[in-house]
């Protein structure tokens, strides 16, 4: 059994075409960070042409109504998870340590099945995919003046495990509307582009829709191993000191090593972090943590080696490992972004101001957090 679900991929492209053809449905699609580094590979586009803005144009041609960026909700995740981390630090003795990231469903399934006693250590923040879906059906429905039931929320993910994450009974709002109705992998969206005979080379770049199309460089690097940790530290530093660190201050957690560790000083507090990718490395780290050989405050785990850039839903090239090349694309985008801190994302700030209230507030708990104990691993897993 493959914990990231890559061996039993289901094709959802026909269901997607049906939803687009249904005039009653408003299709709202989000593009995950790692997808932008890989979608053009299978369409023969050179990397400099395979921009996310060209993918936006292709999605509009297919007929999606609103095209948004998961980097928006990656920034929202950082706001929630960053505050959660600082809250746990403040009440240090009331929580199990380390705190683990929770955005990779392959990892969440792994800990629940292999180390169930440590499920408590997971952040309660939903993943960016799920936060985005919750935002689309509540705040965005309100902005559109639309009935949430008419919104068909779709994601393009580098990941097959995201399909089962979207179907978890806990990933919905109070009205039981599913946050994300359908998940397409990068390979599936490539198939749809081909089926529609869209000549991507000739497309002009187009902008994302507003306001959920605004993301920062910190959100973009979520797609590479170490990116979530780096984005979280950039904002945690600000939340504690009220000053931005140098944007690259936490670059020590970058790179393709399967297990990285570092200690950073945040306002006199030493914060010990680790970043692992790949489940063999994860198991080694878990054994070290359990036996007390290693001790950390915050750990990022990604099930796929190299993180989502190397995810099971990305184009596959026999014998070629492209995670590192794709990660370079994401770090390059972060470097030139005008916004490199999640806490400076104007659309995220606006969403708090006009809808969610403050981070970790009541509405946030209801819509943006989850209870990892509230579902059981299926018996066959
Ligand atoms: Fe999916 Fe990314 Fe986790 Fe791989 S690392 S299972 S692509 S979320």
Q: Is residue 347 part of a domain?
A: yes
Which atom of ligand 1 sits closest to the CA of residue 103?
A: 8
pLDDT at residue 28 greater than cutoff 60: yes
Q: Is residue 376 part of a domain?
A: no
pLDDT at residue 117 greater than cutoff 70: yes
Which atom of ligand 1 sits closest to the CA of residue 106?
A: 6
Instruction: State how many domains the chain has.
Output: 1
Give the mean pLDDT of 260-275: 96
Residue 308 near ligand 1, beta carbon < 6 Å: yes
Residue 307 near ligand 1, beta carbon < 6 Å: yes
Protein residue with its CA nearest to atom 6 in ligand 1: 106
* Residue 162, phi then psi, degrees to nearest 5: -65, -25
**CA 143 to ligand 1 center in whole angstroms:** 31
Residue 158 near ligand 1, beta carbon < 6 Å: yes
Residue 17 and residue 175: Cα distance in Å, rounded?
26
73 CB-near residues (< 8 Å, 6+ apart): 30, 128, 129, 131, 132, 135, 212, 219
Give, in order, the Cα–Cα distances in Å from 201 to each of 46, 54, 158, 356.
9, 9, 22, 40
Give the mean pLDDT of 108-133: 97
Range name among 34-43, 176-185, 285-294, 358-367 with the lowest pLDDT average: 176-185
Q: Are 104 and 62 in contact (CB under 8 A)?
A: no
pLDDT value of residue 6: 54
Give, in order, the Cα–Cα distances in Å from 98 to each of 227, 251, 302.
18, 21, 16
Q: pLDDT tens for residues 207-240?
A: 999 999 999 999 999 999 999 999 999 999 999 9
**Predicted TM-score (pTM) of this structure:** 0.96
Q: Are 30 and 151 in contact (CB under 8 A)?
A: no
pLDDT at residue 379 greater than cutoff 80: no
pLDDT value of residue 174: 63
**CA 25 to ligand 1 center in whole angstroms:** 29
User: How long, in residues, is the chain?
Assistant: 381
Give the mean pLDDT of 317-340: 94
pLDDT at residue 381 greater than cutoff 50: no
Round the average pLDDT of the chain to a whole number and report it.
95
Q: Is residue 20 part of a domain?
A: yes
Which of 324 and 172 is assigned the larger pLDDT? 324
Residue 305 near ligand 1, beta carbon < 6 Å: no
CATH number where 169 lies:
3.40.950.10
pLDDT value of residue 5: 55
Q: Is residue 31 part of a domain?
A: yes
Residue 380 and residue 299: Cα distance in Å, rounded?
28
**CA 243 to ligand 1 center in whole angstroms:** 32
Residue 304 near ligand 1, beta carbon < 6 Å: yes
Residue 224 near ligand 1, beta carbon < 6 Å: no
Give, in order, the Cα–Cα distances in Å from 165 to each of 168, 183, 190.
5, 9, 22
Q: Is residue 116 part of a domain?
A: yes
**CA 34 to ligand 1 center in whole angstroms:** 10
Protein residue with its CA nearest to atom 8 in ligand 1: 104
Q: pLDDT tens for residues 160-211?
A: 999 999 999 999 876 668 999 999 999 999 999 999 999 999 999 999 999 9
Range of the domain at 119: 6-368
| Of 268, 259, 266, 270, the residue nearest 299 (C-alpha) | 259
Give the mean pLDDT of 103-111: 98
| Of 171, 109, 145, the residue nearest 301 (C-alpha) | 109
How many CA atoms lie within 13 Å of 35's alpha carbon, on the beta-carbon side? 29
Which atom of ligand 1 sits closest to the CA of residue 157?
A: 7
SS3 338: coil
Q: Are 139 and 190 in contact (CB under 8 A)?
A: no
How many CA atoms lie within 13 Å of 116's alpha carbon, on the beta-carbon side? 6
If one residue of 185, 307, 315, 316 were mutated to test the ligand 1 pocket, choosing by the most ligand atoms within 8 A of its CB, it would be 307
Q: Is residue 114 part of a domain?
A: yes
Report the relative pairing of strands 99-100 and 298-302 from DSSP bridges.
parallel
What percentage of residues in the chain have a pLDDT greater than 90?
Answer: 92
Residue 56 near ligand 1, beta carbon < 6 Å: no
Residue 347 and residue 191: Cα distance in Å, rounded?
32
Q: Is residue 328 part of a domain?
A: yes
337-369 residues labelled b (16+ CB within 10 A) or e (exposed): bebbbbbbbebbeebbeebbeebbeeebeebbb
Give, in order, the Cα–Cα distances in Å from 97 to each of 77, 83, 88, 101, 219.
20, 16, 9, 12, 25
């Amino acid at each position: 059994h493959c914990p990231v679900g890559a061996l039993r991929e289901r094709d959802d492209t026909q269901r997607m075409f049906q939803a687009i053809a249904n005039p009653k449905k408003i299709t709202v699609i989000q593009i995950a960070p790692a997808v932008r580094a890989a979608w053009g590979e299978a369409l023969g586009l050179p990397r400099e042409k395979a921009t996310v803005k060209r993918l936006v144009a292709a999605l509009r041609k297919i007929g999606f109504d609103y095209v948004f960026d998961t980097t928006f909700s990656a920034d929202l995740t950082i706001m929630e998870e960053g505050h959660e981390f600082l809250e746990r630090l403040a009440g240090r003795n009331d929580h199990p340590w380390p705190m683990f990231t929770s955005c990779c469903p392959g990892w969440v399934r792994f800990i629940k099945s292999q180390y169930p006693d440590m499920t408590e250590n997971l952040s309660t923040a939903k993943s960016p995919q799920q936060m985005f879906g919750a935002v689309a059906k509540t705040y965005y429905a309100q902005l559109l003046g639309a009935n949430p039931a008419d919104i068909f929320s779709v994601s393009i993910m580098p990941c097959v495990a995201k399909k089962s994450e979207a179907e978890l009974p806990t990933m919905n709002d109070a009205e039981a509307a599913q946050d994300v109705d359908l998940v397409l992998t990068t390979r599936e969206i490539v198939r749809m582009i081909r089926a529609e005979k869209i000549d991507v080379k000739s497309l002009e770049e187009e902008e994302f829709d507003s306001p959920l199309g605004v993301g920062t460089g910190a959100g973009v690097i979520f797609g590479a191993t170490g990116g979530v940790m780096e984005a979280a530290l950039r904002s945690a530093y600000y939340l504690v000191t009220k000053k931005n660190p140098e944007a690259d201050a936490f670059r020590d957690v970058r790179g393709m090593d399967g297990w990285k560790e570092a200690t950073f000083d945040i306002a006199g507090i030493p914060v010990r972090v680790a970043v692992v990718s790949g489940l063999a490395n994860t198991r080694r780290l878990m054994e070290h943590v359990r036996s007390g050989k290693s001790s950390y405050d915050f750990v990022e785990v990604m099930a796929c080696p190299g993180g989502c850039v190397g995810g099971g839903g990305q184009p596959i090239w026999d014998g070629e490992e492209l995670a590192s090349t794709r990660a370079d694309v994401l770090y390059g985008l972060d470097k030139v972004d005008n916004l490199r801190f999640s806490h400076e994302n104007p659309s995220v700030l606006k969403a708090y101001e006009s809808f969610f209230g403050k981070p970790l507030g009541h509405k946030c708990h209801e819509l943006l957090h989850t209870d990892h104990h509230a579902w059981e691993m299926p018996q066959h897993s």
